[in-house]
Chains A and B, each alone.
Chain A
Amino acid sequence: MSTTLFDNRKSVIHRLNPVTKLIALLAIIVIVFAIPLWWVAGIIIVVIVVPAAVISGSGGRLLKLSLRILLPILLVLFIVQGLTFPGGTTVIWQWGIIDITSEGLLFALGVGSRIVVLVLASMLLVLTTHPGDLMSALSERGMSPKFAYIISSTLQLIPAFRVRADSILLAQQARGLSLKGSPFRRIKIMLPLLSPLVLGMFTDVEERSTAMEARAFGSTAKRTALIPVPDSTVQNVSRWVLIVLALAAVATPIVLGLL
């Protein structure tokens, strides 16, 4: 299992500056959460997210990954809010003591449409942007290199962690540890797994920090980028347009008196 979901392709969306994509994602999230109408979220999915996914060529993976996250949430959301929404008065379907209210379903639609946009848009960013590119683009813009180090390093550590956990699990099974049983028994299984895993990983830290300090990691001098991330004037302008759009979306409901 790979650590990142990055889908390595050569589309226009992949080649955009990561900061542009990040700002686009933030603007989309602000717009759908600022305007309290579910069809705004619908329009954004149809007009922006779906075409972008098709152009990037990662649409299939996006659909598969997002459905796995969204289906359980949406199912629970509609059932729970349809049945128990506190402001629900108009009963549209009744069976015994169970009644579904239209207010509850509308609430679920409002919240659900926004969750769909949030998940689809951020998944698309993750699929089309290599975390390393995002980190170097943000570091160029003044983010502390410590953030970049921590995030990139973690992404490399998680597979190492899994490999180590698997080998410890196999070793414990080899000496007769059974993985089946009641929840309480399964908690007990965690202990012989966790302690060698954690102690091993943390004792590695010491050597790493010495090596990093020897290469001036703690220095606060300004660094230059080894691989500059490509950017263009068009993207720079569109970033500002997106920011203005997001601010306009925040102001719209207040101006129109929707609240």
Chain B
Amino acid sequence: MSSTATTPADSKKTRNRIFIAVGTIIIVATYLYLVVGQPTDIAASSFSQSGLIAIAGYVIGAILLAVGAIHRLPTATVAMVPVAIALNIVVGQLVSVIGIPVYLDSIGTVLVSALAGPAAGVVTGILTNVIWGLTLSPIALPYAVVQVVIGVMAGYAARLGMFRLFYLAPVAGAVTGFVSAIVSAPISAFVFGGATGGGTGAIVGAFQAMGNSLLASTTLQGLLSDPLDKAIVFTIVVLILAALPSRFRQRFPFMRQYNVFGRKAPVLKDATAAAPTVES
């Protein structure tokens, strides 16, 4: 069933690799430019170009990554992505209504990354924020790159076997949260001036009053909440993976190849190998 998706894509493989490489370089360069160029910018109090560079660099980088990644996905993965995005949005909304001080808006992204790899996580992540921006709040759009980072990190954590033991997952989650806090800080600082919500805004203000710069304050604020949030998300994902039927898990080549969930099931492996879902 996947032969149609893989054979003609050979000519596009180099193009997709270039997209992914350029996208990554743009995101890294944007962050480095904003962090290195920030002090002079604030002193001249014309923070404007920083805001433009933050949005443009991150959005263009994220789009290139997604365009490069989406061609790799087989139909089984593409069919799963909308469910994961809906999970992100519905749980994220539910949590904000209940009033718990975490976001939990990346459960779907991490779950897809663990089942189908970083490329699928990237697509889930960016489209979550695009759809969130189209339906509930345009504020989510500039943050698309953060979900992309979460997708990539979760995918590689899965490859390294962080989901095999339930106590390793929160550690991987905390590391992911650390990175996503650092990546999202320039957006909060230069696009939104530190004010993305009541509680977070107050914390940013407190850090500024202690004498930190705006970027340092948003970074510290992110470091307070993101690692905890992602540790919880990764733990929830391990629980979901354990509860999913083994037959469903074994359908994904990424899951089988890197033995993401640990438990070897030779009988199941043979059964899926015989089925027509096998990837080349």
A positions within 8 Å CB-CB of B: 3-5, 29-30, 33-36, 69, 72-74, 76-77, 79-81, 83-87, 103, 106-108, 110-112, 114-115, 118-119, 122-123, 126, 131, 144, 146-147, 149-151, 153-155, 157-158, 160-162, 165, 183, 186-187, 190, 194-195, 198-199, 201-206, 208-209, 212-213, 216-220, 250, 253, 258-259
**CB neighbours of A153 from chain B (8 A):** 82
* Segment among B84-92, B172-180, B254-262 that sits at the interface with chain A: B84-92
Q: Is B118 an interface residue (CB 8 A)?
A: no
Find residues 1-53 in chain B having any chain A CB closer than 8 Å to their own CB: 1-2, 4-5, 8-9, 42-49, 51-52
**CB neighbours of A190 from chain B (8 A):** 94-95, 98
* Known contacts A80-B205, A253-B48, A258-B46; is-contact A154 B82 (Cβ 8 Å): yes
Q: Is the CB of B194 within 8 A of A80?
A: yes
The 8 lowest CB-CB distance pairs between A and B, nearest first, are A36-B48, A76-B201, A111-B193, A77-B195, A209-B79, A80-B205, A84-B208, A122-B138
Q: Is B55 an interface residue (CB 8 A)?
A: yes
Q: Is the CB of B90 within 8 A of A86?
A: no
Q: Is the CB of B80 within 8 A of A202?
A: yes
Q: Is the CB of B90 within 8 A of A80?
A: no
Q: Is the CB of B131 within 8 A of A154?
A: yes
Q: Is the CB of A81 within 8 A of B75?
A: no
> How far does the alpha carbon of A234 sit from the alpha carbon of B175 in the complex, in Å?
51
Q: Is the CB of A73 within 8 A of B123?
A: no
Q: Is the CB of B86 within 8 A of A150?
A: no
**CB neighbours of A218 from chain B (8 A):** 1-2, 4-5, 74-75
Q: How many residues of B contact A (CB 8 A)?
A: 82
Q: Is the CB of A202 within 8 A of B244?
A: yes
Q: Is B83 an interface residue (CB 8 A)?
A: yes
* Known contacts A154-B86, A154-B127, A199-B243; is-contact A33 B138 (Cβ 8 Å): no
* Known contacts A77-B193, A87-B43, A111-B193; is-contact A150 B123 (Cβ 8 Å): yes
Q: Is the CB of A73 within 8 A of B47?
A: no
> How far does the alpha carbon of A40 sit from the alpha carbon of B208 in the complex, in Å?
28
Q: Is the CB of A3 within 8 A of B135?
A: yes
> How far does the alpha carbon of A74 sit from the alpha carbon of B83 in the complex, in Å?
34
Find residues 188-242 in chain B having any chain A CB closer than 8 Å to their own CB: 191-198, 201-202, 204-206, 208-209, 211-214, 236, 239-240
Q: Is B78 an interface residue (CB 8 A)?
A: yes
Q: Is B137 an interface residue (CB 8 A)?
A: yes
> How far does the alpha carbon of A203 sit from the alpha carbon of B244 in the complex, in Å?
8
Q: Is the CB of A77 within 8 A of B1?
A: no
Q: Is the CB of A186 within 8 A of B194?
A: no
Find residues 46-73 in chain B having any chain A CB closer than 8 Å to their own CB: 46-49, 51-52, 55-56, 66-67, 70-71, 73
Q: Is B245 an interface residue (CB 8 A)?
A: yes
Given contacts A76-B195, A218-B2, list 12 more A-B pairs with CB under 8 A: A3-B135, A69-B138, A72-B198, A80-B204, A119-B138, A122-B133, A150-B78, A154-B85, A157-B85, A165-B94, A190-B98, A198-B87
> How far does the alpha carbon of A74 sit from the alpha carbon of B192 in the complex, in Å?
9
**CB neighbours of B240 from chain A (8 A):** 195, 198-199
Q: Is the CB of B48 within 8 A of A201?
A: no
Name the one of A151, A206, A213 contacting B1, with C-beta atoms under 8 angstroms.
A213
Q: Is the CB of A213 within 8 A of B75?
A: yes
Residue of B nearest to A120 (CB): B138
Query: 29 A–B contact pairs at CB < 8 A?
Result: A69-B139, A72-B197, A73-B196, A77-B192, A79-B201, A83-B205, A86-B208, A110-B47, A114-B191, A115-B193, A119-B138, A131-B134, A151-B130, A154-B127, A155-B134, A157-B82, A165-B94, A194-B236, A195-B239, A198-B87, A201-B87, A202-B80, A203-B245, A205-B80, A205-B83, A218-B4, A219-B4, A220-B8, A259-B49
